[in-house]
Structure formats: C-alpha cells, structure tokens
Chain A
Amino acid sequence: MHHSHIDRFAHGDSPVHWLDARAKFLAIVAYTVVVISYNRYTVTELAPLAVMPLALLWFGGIPTWFALRRVLVLSPFILFVCLLSPWYDRAPQAVALGSWRFEVAGGWLTSVDIAVKFTLGVLALTALMSTTPFALLLEAMRKLGVPKMLLMQLGFVYRYLFVLIDEAMRVRRGRDFRSAALAPAGRRLSAVGGIIGNLFVRTLDRSERIYTAMAARGYTGQYHGLNILRFRWHDIVFLTAAAAYLAVCRWPWLLKS
C-alpha cells in the first residue's frame, strides 16, 4: 500500500497547499470548536459555516467525491444516533427560515443538526489533511507545542503503517488462497491467532532492529524537526480572514454594530 493511498492529494500545488501548516491547523481547530458550540436545535445558522471547508476544498483542488466519500464511510454511528433522536424528542420547536416560521418536533431538528455538524467537521478535517503532507503537519504540531514523544510515535506509525499493512495483506491473501474459509471454526480461529501473533512477534523484532539501526546512527532520543515552516504574509491574511469569518458566523450581531 503506497502512501499515496492516504496522502493522495497532499503533495499537490495550489494556494491552499502553500499555506503554512500551522495556520491551517489552527484554523481548522477553531472552526471545529465553533461548529460544536451551537446548541442542538440550530440548523439554519450552520449554513454560512459550510463556506470555509468547501472553499478550502475547492481552492485546494480536492475532488468533491473524495471528500463526500469520507463522510459516507464514517457516518454509520452518527446515522444511528440521528435516526433515534426524533423518537425521543417530540417537543415542538419553532424554526425560522428567512421570513417563514414553522414548527417541527425537536428530535428532527437535532437529527439534522448533528448530521450537518458531522458533515462539516469531516469536510474541514479532510480539507486540512488533503492539503498538508503528514510530515509538515507533525512539524506544525511541534511548533505549536505538542510533546515531541507523541510526534515521534506518530511519525513511526505513519512510516510503518504501509509496511505492516502490506505484510498483513500478503499473509491474508496467502491464508485465503489456502481455502481457509472452508476450515472449521476452531481451526480458523487458531489460524487468525497465529497470524496476528506472528505479525506481533515480527513487529517486536523489527522495532528492535529499527532501534539498533538508529542507535548505530547516533540516535540518543533527540527529535530533529524539519525547521522549514515560515509564516508569510498570505498566512497572516488567511488567519485573519478565518478568524473574522468565524466570529461573524458565530455572533452575527457583530455585523450590525
């Protein structure tokens, strides 16, 4: 499995890709906080919030189907919660859409509200991750104060994810080609246990070898960052614009004053 499967669009070339990773990260975190800060009956006020992730995706050159597919894949739990809400919350709530006023059971509002917030959250995170290579994101997190130990671990997960998933898929293919599905349940179970146990033992040994190789090259536990992130004028413009946009969405009365 090549890293392009995961970081598919991250090495592209667009205005959003040029933005500093710290700026994007902070903007998306702030956006997520604003999205979940609305209460459960808001639906119409969420509409202007859709502009930011969609704009980032559009200017970043990320295809819409890619982002929407993410939303679909991750939605089962949220759908379950959304379908249950109308059942339990029958109290009517007033809804205002422009000049229309109508009443709807609270549960339906909550369902739509959670679904919309979920979609917006996933789109925003997809926008961030599809326009930022993982290494740059780790670097941004380091500059923002995330503990280096965690970052090193994340780096290792990313690096060895593909290697180990490839290994697991090969072993699984080998098992499937040996008609494992026809074996009785007990033997299937011990085969699964054996495969995972084998992978585990190999990973333990591999991490030993990695450590030895790193120690042989002078590793003493220090983390060396890339030091290539620079805040430029367009990052400051982006951050200011994002802050203003979020403030106006959350507190519309600012526009009137």
Chain B
Amino acid sequence: MFLAMHMANELLSVPVAGLTLGLAALIVLIASWLARRTLNPERLPLMGVMGAFVFAGQMINFTLPGMPGTSGHLVGGVLLAIVLGPWAAILTIVSILVVQCLLFQDGGLLALGCNIINMGVVPCLVGFGLYRVLPGRIETTRPWRQYLATWTACVIATAAGAALVPVEATLSGVLKIPVFQFLAVMVGVHLLIGFVEGLITFAVVAYLRQVRPAALGLAKADTGGGRLSRSAVAASFLVTAALLAGVVAWFASSYPDGLEWSYMEHKYANADSAVAGPSGLIAAATAWQEKWSLMTDYTKRAAPLGELPAKSGTEGEGSGSAVNPWGSLAGILGTVVTLALVYTAARLLRRRTPAHQH
C-alpha cells in the first residue's frame, strides 16, 4: 500500500535527493510532452480528476480470503497505465504524490523525486510494457491471458519500484543495513502486495471490458465475461511461490537461527553434553539423513548419494547474496514436492459428496 512504500526525506542525502528530483522533473517534462500527442493540452489538467479517483479507489478494500482482519487495496499505478497510457498515468501519479506529500505529509518534500520514480515512472512504464507485450493483441486475447498479463504486470511493476528504495537509501549512505538484506525484505513484501493489486486490477479491467471497452482500446464489449478461472489464480500462486523460493531466497541469511544460536553459544548448561555426545540412535539417524538427503543444506550434495560427506568446518557466517542456482533449485523443488503432498492428502481426505443433493 502507498503508506508502506513512501520514501522518507531522512533516508536520503542532499546530493541523491537533488539528483532524483532533477531526474524526476526531466521525466515529467518528457511525459507531459508525450501525453500531448494523445490528449489535447487543455485536457491535461483533468488528469487531476483521475488523481482524485485514485485516492477514492484506495478506500475500497478487499478482505483477503483466509486472512480475516487484513485487507488489501489498490495502489493504482498499473491500472492507470493500462487505461490512460503510461505518460498520462505518470502525470496523474505525480499529482497524487504531491498532494499526498503536502496535504497528508506522507512522503518527504525532498523525497518527491524518489517517490515519483519508484511509484510513478517505474510501475507505469514496466506495468504498461508487460501488459502490452504479454497477451499479444488485446482485442482477440482470451480472458485468462489478459488476467495473467495484468497480474504479472502489477507484481513485477510493484516489486521493481520497491527495489529502488534500498538502492537510493544505500547511495545516500544513511543506512548501514546491507543492501541485499534490505532488497530481499522490500522485494519480498512487495511481491505479495503486488499479488493483491494484480487481483484487484484484473477485476477492474474485467469490468471495464464489459461496460466500457473503449477505455481499454477494445472495439466492442466482450460477451464472454471476464471470469477468473481457478487455474489462472492457481497459476499466479505458483509463480509467486516460485519467485519467492527461487529468487528472494538467495538473500536468505546464513546466520544460525534462534535455536541453533542458543546452543552454539553455549547458553544452556545441558545442551553441551547433548550436542557433543549424541546417543547412538540420534547419531545413526543423522548419518542416515546425511547419506540420503537429496540436497543437503539446500545446495548441491558434497558427496554422492549413499555416502557420508567429508567432515568440514561450519560454513562462514554472513548472508548469501550471490546468485545461487542450486539454492533456487532446492527452493523450487521443495515447493513442488510440498504442493504435491498437500494436494494428494487433500484428495484422499476429501469428503465424498453425498449421492443425493437437493
């Protein structure tokens, strides 16, 4: 949601703030020049009314299924880009951000440049680009392809914009949080936010397809109905899971977790004896696990299957940040296996529907 993503003044240094403000001003000039090619110059100010619409649209919340108490709502960048075109959308978002900064003090005055780039320029251009490229011709595309295109555009556009925040903060030198950790958190969270936004944006696009197809550039109303098929939603869940497991997991910390740390640091008196001299059963189980696990420690096995690995010291501490293909494979493999197990269990445990249903 907007509140989470706004960049604050205080995370920027004066040179970076000035640079981003200049860059944003330049892009806005270019956008208004390009927008004049589709809109009359007199109508450009009316983008402001669309800006007010985005504020209003953000009040309509959608309670997420299965998570009572949380609700998502539309951020609106990609939706605006889809219906107004990317340049007019950028102008609208600029006016929204300025009003948010001035009237609601949301987002700092000097961070406006960063916010315009992170939440306006990048999502609108990336979202619009993906939306146009993915489904082919808009007029003849099937609803599920349009859904996937809209949803993908939202997820990637939101994550791309969010990914710039750690970059700008690090360039300013204000924070000492390592870039990759910050990136992982921001991108991970915004993939999920983008997921919800993709759902809502698709619902709006489906409605517009039926009621006002001219707004989407379609010739006539689509009588097929923009039904969201279950398989399309399932596909989008899978892609999000794959992205999280395969890519965001690269940035997972390799520091020990709480439990490991407590006994490695010898915090508990009885832990030493248990860890140093495990009973025969535990030692045998550990050896068996090391011999037969397919991907020890989420990476390539050190020894062939069926043999114990050679003893090596504990891995160096630190957070992984390099591209780690074995880690991705491990993550995705684990996700697929878990999915298969859960699905099988669900099928087996499913109650048979009664033969006579009224």
Q: Report the Cα distance A7→B104, complex, angstroms.
A: 10
Establish whether residues B207 and A193, one from each chain, have CB atoms under 8 Å apart when the complex forms.
yes
* B96 within 8 Å of A (CB atoms): yes
**Does the CB pair A106–B49 fall under 8 Å?**
no
CA distance A77 to B9 in the complex (A): 12
Complex-state Cα separation, A184 to B62, whole angstroms: 12
Known: A192-B200, A220-B42. A200 touches B108 (CB 8 A): no
Decide: A196 and B57 in contact? CB cutoff 8 A. yes
Report the separation of the CA atoms of residues A210 and B44 in the bound assembly, to the nearest whole angstrom.
Answer: 12
- Which chain A residues border B61 with CB–CB below 8 Å? 172, 192
A198 at interface (Cβ–Cβ under 8 A)?
A: yes
With known contacts A157-B52, A165-B55, A193-B200, A81–B175 Cβ distance under 8 A: yes
Q: Which of B12, B32, B96, B207 is packed against the most chain A CB atoms within 10 Å?
A: B207
Given contacts A36-B14, A210-B46, contact A168 B102 (CB under 8 A): no
Shortest C-beta distance, A227 to chain B (Å), equals: 19
In the assembled complex, the CB of B37 is this many whole angstroms from the nearest CB of chain A, namely 15
Query: From DSSP, what is the main secondary structure of chain A's interface residues?
Result: helix
Say yes or no: is B356 at the interface (Cβ < 8 Å to chain A): no
Chain A residues contacting B91 (CB-CB under 8 Å) are: 153
Given contacts A36-B13, A74-B105, contact A204 B215 (CB under 8 A): yes
The stretch that binds B, out of A27-35, A57-65, A232-240, is: A27-35
Provide the bound-state CA to CA distance between A169 and B57, in Å: 10
B94 within 8 A of A: yes
Contact A84–B177 (Cβ < 8 Å): yes
Partner among B44, B83, B105, B177 whose Cβ is within 8 Å of the Cβ of A70: B105
Contact of B109 among A29, A89, A185, A193 (CB under 8 A): A29
With known contacts A74-B105, A121-B8, A169-B59, A88–B178 Cβ distance under 8 A: yes
Which among A35, A193, A196 has the highest number of chain B CB atoms within 10 Å?
A: A196
Binary contact readout A169-195 vs B (1 if CB under 8 angstroms, 0 otherwise): 101100000000100111011101111
Nearest chain B CB to A114 CB, angstrom units: 5
Q: What's the minimum C-beta distance from A139 to chain B, rounded to whole angstroms?
A: 13
Segment of A12-20, A95-103, A122-130, A241-249 engaged in the interface with chain B: A122-130
Chain B residues with Cβ under 8 A from A204's Cβ? 50, 212, 215
Q: What's the nearest-Cβ distance from chain B to residue A82, in Å?
A: 10
Chain B residues, CB < 8 A from A149:
32, 44-45
A residues lining the B interface (CB < 8 Å):
6-7, 28-29, 32-33, 35-37, 40, 70, 74, 76-78, 81, 84-85, 87-89, 106-107, 110, 114, 117-118, 121-122, 125-126, 129, 134, 137, 149-150, 152-161, 163-165, 167-169, 171-172, 181, 184-186, 188-190, 192-201, 203-204, 206-207, 210-211, 215, 219-221
Query: Which 4 pairs show the lowest CB-CB distances between chains A and B?
Result: A193-B203, A156-B48, A197-B207, A185-B65
Residue contacts A-B, CB under 8 angstroms, 7 given: A78-B10, A153-B45, A161-B52, A168-B60, A194-B207, A200-B57, A201-B208
Q: B residues bordering A, Cβ < 8 Å? A: 3-6, 8-14, 17, 28, 32, 41-53, 55-57, 59-63, 65, 74, 79, 83, 91-92, 94-96, 98-99, 101-106, 108-110, 173-178, 181, 199-200, 202-208, 211-212, 215, 228
